Structure 1
Amino acid sequence: MKNVSVLDFLTQLAANNSKEWMDANRTWYEEVKQAHLDNVAEILAGLSRYQPQFSDLRPKDCVFRQNRDIRFSANKLPYKTNMAAYFAIGGKKSVGPGYYLHLQPGASFVGGGIYMPDAETLKKIRQEIDYSGKELESILTAPQFRDFFGDMEGEKLKTSPRDYDKDHPFIGYLKYKSFIVSRPISDGDIQSGKTVVLALAAFENMRPFFNFLERAVSAPEDEAFLL
């Protein structure tokens, strides 16, 4: 990464979240944005070595706009106080799983999975868990994976989902409405230029989880058992 501190910029942006401040610091923002894009390009290159599907993506397919959509929000601050990238086959708007990088002073992390999928996608994931729950359990409980990420995260139903018995052997997984794992990154590691290395290490550990979700989402409905 270039000698540009993303975190320093975001700290100042959080304290001065206005168009006037951004206009006065546009050159600084452009330098930080380019440094972020450079990191994303390196991560894409690393991912493509083992998952060639990522080779067609460009950095701009993965990063998010700094401007907030304030049309329907009570919070009228114009800019996000983080920089992030979502690496998904097909780009950041894909309904499939992805790897995620979040940069924010004191709250940076790497993660991935699927956050709040639509009803059809959620149905496919639950169908795959129904057929192959043992495989998902093996992925999530593998010592290396669990030591790195901890437990799977995500909002859960309080009762069993429709069409699944409360005594289903994998009802704990079937109750999830999001399927996410994550690991924090310290400010020090980011400031010392370790963002790309740490992100790629996390995404490599996450690959079996990603592949499980990708297979679930890609399978024709009611045919996941054929895979």
Structure 2
Amino acid sequence: MIQVPESSLSFLKALIENNNRVWFEEHKNEFKEEEQKLKIFYNSVLEDLNENDSIEKMKIFRIYRDVRFSKDKTPYKNHRGVSFSRTTENLRGGYYLRISPGESMMAGGFFQPNSADLMRIRKEFETDDTEIREIIANDNFKSFFGKLEGDEVKSAPRGFDKNHAAIDLIRKKSFIVSRKFTDKEVLALNFREKLKESYLALRPFFDYMSDVLTTDINGVSVLER
């Protein structure tokens, strides 16, 4: 059974306590070894996702932080992250996994969609929010993720009525969900299965959003134009 090795969490715990370039260079080989171990796990997650979905790309995020505009000048991330992008012409959305001591999580959805996609989503909610409400109110959805998350504008986007019944959805700039895991859960043999179940629980949301983003407001496909 492929699982997250305890040594990977141990390395990240040590990095949190020694987040500097001297320490990291001294432990560079250890870092590379743990990266290879985690990559095996990531590929197993990719394999699981492709059983019920179509993944175009897996991206492993670099451990080096961009500190140019940050007050926090620590050079390395204290987590390892990987994303899985769906085949984008017909399927939209992406899956995410973060391994971090005490802060591991999976997530998925639509993070800061481009302006055209964002407008299309907002117009759909403005026209009819019945289906999205049913999806996010579903007991299975709530048991995994709780609620739909995402940064929001303070009032209403330009051109939208701040008193609209769906303004709580229209205000969002991202449409994402997440589920947190303890270190014990991450290291358990069934963690891969828990991730598989979590990502599968996203499908009704993804299927709906993909339908929205591949049609115009009248429901006509934009892929055939």
Relative to the length of structure 1, the TM-score reads: 0.85
For residues 2-81 of structure 1, the aligned pairs below 5 Å read 3-51=5-53, 53-54=54-55, 56-57=56-57, 61-81=58-78
Where does structure 2 lack aligned partners over 5 or more consecutive residues? Answer: none
Q: CA RMSD in A?
A: 2.2
CA shift, 1:216, in A, is: 3.2
Q: Report the structure, 1 or 2, having the larger helix content.
A: 1
1:108-132 Cα offsets, whole Å, 9 max, x none, are 1111112233322211221232344
1:148-202 Cα offsets, whole Å, 9 max, x none, are 2111112223323233334433222111122111111111011224432221111
For residues 169-184 of structure 1, the aligned pairs below 5 Å read 169-184=165-180
Distance 1:187 1:167, change over 3 A: same
**Secondary structure at 1:99 match in 2:** strand
Where does structure 1 lack aligned partners over 5 or more consecutive residues? Answer: none
Take 1:2 and 1:117, find their aligned partners in 2: how far apart are those partners? 31
Find the partner of 1:189 among 165, 169, 185: 185
Aligned residue identity for 2:219: F
Q: Runs of 4+ in structure 1 displaced over 6 angstroms? A: none
Aligned residue identity for 1:129: F
Relative to the length of structure 2, the TM-score reads: 0.86
Residue equivalent to 1:144: 140
1:4-24 Cα offsets, whole Å, 9 max, x none, are 522111110111112221222
Q: Report the structure, 1 or 2, having the larger strand content.
A: 2
Aligned residue pairs, count: 216
**Is 1:217 matched up with 2:217?**
no
Take 2:190 and 2:106, find their aligned partners in 1: how far apart are those partners? 12
Identity of aligned residues (%): 31
CA shift, 1:83, in A, is: 0.6
Distance 1:7 1:111, change over 3 A: same
**Secondary structure at 2:179 match in 1:** strand
Take 1:26 and 1:181, find their aligned partners in 2: how far apart are those partners? 34
Aligned residue identity for 2:37: A
Take 1:62 and 1:50, find their aligned partners in 2: how far apart are those partners? 19
**Residues 124 and 217, structure 2, Cα contact 8 Å, conserved in 1:** no
**Secondary structure at 2:65 match in 1:** coil
* Between 143-152 and 118-127, the greater mean CA deviation after superposition: 118-127
**Residues 157 and 176, structure 1, Cα contact 8 Å, conserved in 2:** yes
